[in-house]
Structure 1
Amino acid sequence: MNRWWRLFRHRWMDPGDSRRAVPDDMAERLAARVRASEARHTGEVRLLVEAGLPTSYVLRVHNDAALAAVVRERALAWFGRLRLWDTEHNNGVLIYLLLAENAIEFVADRGLARHVPPSAWQAIVDRLGTRLRAGEVEDGLTQALEEVSALLVMHCPAGPGVPAHNELPDEVLRV
């Protein structure tokens, strides 16, 4: 893709695009699903929809491999910024959508990542991508949240002696 067109697309998009992709009513329903999920395990789940990348990221994209690396780097930066790495049991999960590139990235902290192979995460990403391309944003995100929750319940369940408590906000971030 033309580098200048990519830069224009990322600069053109803004948080309003994220709010249109995930309107307030949908964001509230998704946040309620995150809360319900977190009552069943000790993990923390955050959902972030970003319209476009900062220019410094876009200028480093020269091919598809570089794009994948930049999207991963940006998701990791948000993971740290949102303090998902700082949860008590090190089992936070970020579901990151980058609208300008139609890209999806999942970042799981070490407490969960050591139990779940990359292929399992990729399968969830692939199913979410299929739903998003079909225009089923809420259904796709709901399904992804359910699948992430199932992994967290399996590997990081709440229970006697290990209660679930909410360490981080549940709202969907739209930036």
Structure 2
Amino acid sequence: MHTTNRFQRLWRHATASHKKWQQQFPKSLLTRIETLIAASEPKHLGQIRVVIENNMPLSDVWANVSPRERAWQCFGELGVWDTEYNTGVLLYIGWSDRALEIVADRGIARQVDEQVWQKICQQLSQAFVAQQFETGTETALQQLTDVLQAHIPRDGSHIADNELSDEVVVR
């Protein structure tokens, strides 16, 4: 939920507690996410990254950077665009904005309608509202795997390279 009131949003980001989201995403869940990514990638030519950002830099909030724009910034900073087949996908969780974004590189984005990514985000949002963080995240990762496997499956001619880290980026 991206608030248009800049001062409310700035306050929310400035006072965001790491403790709250860490209760919902304990180390065990972060490890589980990394394991799911590692198990997913040999099935397709995509590379998945997950970013959980408690609060954006205050300068970005003041500049009214949207969660979508911030997701694109993370996509670039983490080099998700820099894969052999241009099939990197980023799942961005903006905790303070209560925002979920999926950014896909051009090799997969031209094959998958934006509504598919939005539907995954909507379902994940519903799970988060219901306090089902683990189940929701696992389901979203399975949905990402299914989409990537359907559109860019790995066949015997492709080496199973892990081009990007599977580690969840926590900010």
Is TM > 0.5 for Structure 1 vs Structure 2?
A: yes
Structure 2 residue 150 is the aligned partner of structure 1 residue 154 = yes
TM-score normalised to structure 2 length: 0.92
**Equivalent residue runs for 1:26-37 within 5 Å:** 26-37=29-40
Map 1:6-85; keep pairs closer than 5 Å: 6-13=9-16, 15-61=18-64, 70-85=66-81
Aligned structure 1 segments of 4 or more residues deviating by more than 6 angstroms? none
User: Which deviates the most, 11-20 or 104-113?
Assistant: 11-20
SS for the counterpart of 2:153 is coil
Secondary structure of the corresponding residue to residue 39 of structure 1: helix
Residues 42 and 158, structure 1, Cα contact 8 Å, conserved in 2 = yes
The alpha-carbon deviation at position 39 of structure 1 amounts to 1.4
> Is contact 1:49–1:174 with CA below 8 Å preserved after alignment?
yes
What residue identity is the alignment partner of 2:63? Answer: R
Name the SS of the counterpart of 2:166 in structure 1.
coil
Instruction: Quote the offset at 1:16 in angstroms.
Output: 4.9
Alignment partners' CA distance in 1, 2:74 and 2:117: 18
Unaligned ranges ≥5, structure 1: 62-68
Partners of 1:122 and 1:19 in 2: CA distance: 25
CA contact (8 A) 1:43 1:156 kept: yes
Q: In structure 1, how many angstroms separate the alpha carbons of the residues matched to 2:120 and 2:16? A: 26
| Letter in structure 1 aligned against 2:159 | P
Do structure 1's residue 141 and structure 2's residue 159 form an aligned pair?
no
Q: TM-score, normalised by structure 1?
A: 0.90
Q: Does the alignment pair 1:113 with 2:104?
A: no
In the TM superposition, what whole-angstrom CA distance separates every residue of 1:7-26 from its partner, at most 9, and x where no partner exists?
12101225555433311111
Q: Which residue of 2 aligns with 1:86?
A: 82
**What's the RMSD between the two structures over aligned residues?**
1.6
